[in-house]
């Protein structure tokens, strides 16, 4: 399939001599981009079943997403992760991915990747690899088809497993993301470790994050500290400490019996703020400097005001200058309200 490069690509600015650094001396080199708020699943910890999605006029066009991402690359961002909702349900998404791939060719970008629920992988895996994607994260919280449907509400496990097979055949490295849910999948951790070992996948466990109203689901009841998850896994598997990072928040160990890695993302029990190198862009052009804070910057307005990137770059620098030291996530038994009211799907995790 022919490559698509958006008109703005011809006007890419050279890499800035002054990369973006926050007030605490952390260089921002990782941008997560939610390309859509829509998804073909309704995972119980992420969305309400009856979601109201954004009107089209509020959502950035693919060309606008390309322009903002390219501005960040010019400011020193070396890793782009596309998220959603579900990124692969966005119409024309492969045009954006192929266009962003030009930054891999120039050497300005070290990695272009995405997080997906896997439902569309059977269709897109080969195209993703051809566009320069080499590694993907796929969200799977259970290997039980009935529980999978209950957690995702609309998802089918067999379709996701077929997508994983296609991804592996295309040459994509796969990491499985699993949200630890007390009373839901806490009886499957050993099975997941063994399965990932057999399939050649790395595995990352994630604590439930207190974000958004999800229609009566009680995160307090779902919450399971990963310190407990790790201790349970260690009862059966040998976990060796390793010095490995993907540039994200996970802390990794290696499973001696399988040779695969397990990561732990612990925003509550052990936050990862001290080394945070990332910011998050929503599909409406809102930049969140911290997943666990509400302060944000509007990048859609400068993009739509001018074809010149000077105002956009100025707005990005000003926003990074407000990046906080850490988040405010907490599981509070005295309050049912989420500390961060927006849904997880808004910023893509």
Per-residue pLDDT of 12-42, as tens digits, reads 655 665 889 999 899 999 999 999 998 887 7
Could you tell me which residues come within 8 angstroms of residue 342 by beta carbon, excluding any fewer than 6 positions away?
211, 212, 294
Mean pLDDT of 75-84: 96
Task: Name the more confident of 114 and 339.
Answer: 114
Which of 155, 265, 267 has its CA nearest to residue 209?
A: 267
What is the pLDDT at residue 1?
Answer: 47
Which of 33, 25, 78 has its CA nearest to residue 275?
A: 25
DSSP letter, residue 85: S
How much of the chain exceeds pLDDT 90, in percent?
63
pTM, rounded to two decimals: 0.86
**Distance between CA atoms of 314 and 4, rounded to whole angstroms?**
28
How much of the chain exceeds pLDDT 70, in percent?
82
**Distance between CA atoms of 196 and 119, rounded to whole angstroms?**
18
Lowest-confidence pick of 11-25, 52-66, 83-97, 162-176: 11-25
Q: What is the pLDDT of residues 210-236, one digit of tens each?
A: 544 444 445 567 788 899 999 999 999
Beta carbons within 10 angstroms of residue 331's beta carbon: 18
Strand 202-206: give its sheet, edge to edge: 239-241, 251-255, 261-265, 202-206, 173-179, 135-139, 111-116, 79-83, 30-34, 278-281, 286-288, 296-298
**Distance between CA atoms of 171 and 233, rounded to whole angstroms?**
29
Mean pLDDT in the chain?
86
What token pair was written down for 252?
């990794």
Confidence tier at 334 by pLDDT (50, 70, 90): very low
């Amino acid at each position: 399939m022919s490559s698509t490069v958006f008109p703005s690509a011809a006007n890419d600015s050279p890499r800035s001599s002054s990369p973006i650094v926050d007030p605490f001396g952390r260089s921002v080199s990782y941008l997560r981009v939610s390309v859509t708020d829509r998804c073909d699943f309704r995972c119980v910890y992420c969305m309400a079943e009856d979601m109201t999605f954004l009107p089209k006029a509020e959502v950035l066009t693919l060309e606008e997403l390309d322009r903002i991402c390219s501005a960040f690359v010019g400011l020193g961002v070396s890793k782009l992760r596309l998220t959603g909702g579900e990124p692969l349900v966005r119409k024309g998404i492969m045009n954006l991915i192929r266009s962003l791939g030009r930054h891999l060719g120039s050497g300005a970008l070290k990695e272009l990747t995405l997080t997906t629920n896997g439902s569309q992988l059977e269709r897109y895996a080969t195209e993703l690899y051809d566009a320069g994607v080499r590694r993907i994260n796929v969200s799977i919280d259970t290997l039980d088809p009935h529980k999978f449907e209950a957690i995702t509400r609309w998802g089918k496990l067999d379709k996701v497993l077929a997508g994983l097979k296609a991804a592996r055949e295309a040459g994509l490295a796969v990491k499985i993301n699993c949200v630890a849910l007390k009373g839901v999948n806490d009886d499957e951790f050993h099975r997941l470790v063994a399965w990932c070992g057999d399939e050649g996948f790395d595995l990352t466990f994630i604590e439930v994050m207190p974000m958004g109203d999800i229609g009566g689901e009680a995160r307090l009841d779902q919450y399971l500290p990963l310190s407990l998850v790790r201790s349970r896994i260690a009862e059966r598997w040998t976990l060796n400490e390793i010095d490995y990072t993907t540039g994200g928040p996970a802390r990794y160990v290696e499973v001696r019996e399988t040779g695969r890695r397990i990561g732990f993302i612990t925003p509550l029990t052990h936050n990862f703020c001290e080394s945070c190198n990332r910011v998050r862009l929503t599909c409406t052009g809102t930049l969140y400097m911290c997943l666990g804070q509400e302060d944000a910057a509007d990048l859609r307005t400068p993009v739509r005001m001018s074809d010149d990137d000077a105002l956009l770059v100025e707005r990005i620098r000003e926003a990074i200058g407000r990046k906080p030291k850490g988040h405010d996530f907490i599981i509070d038994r005295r309050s049912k309200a989420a500390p961060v009211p927006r849904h997880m799907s808004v910023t893509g995790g």
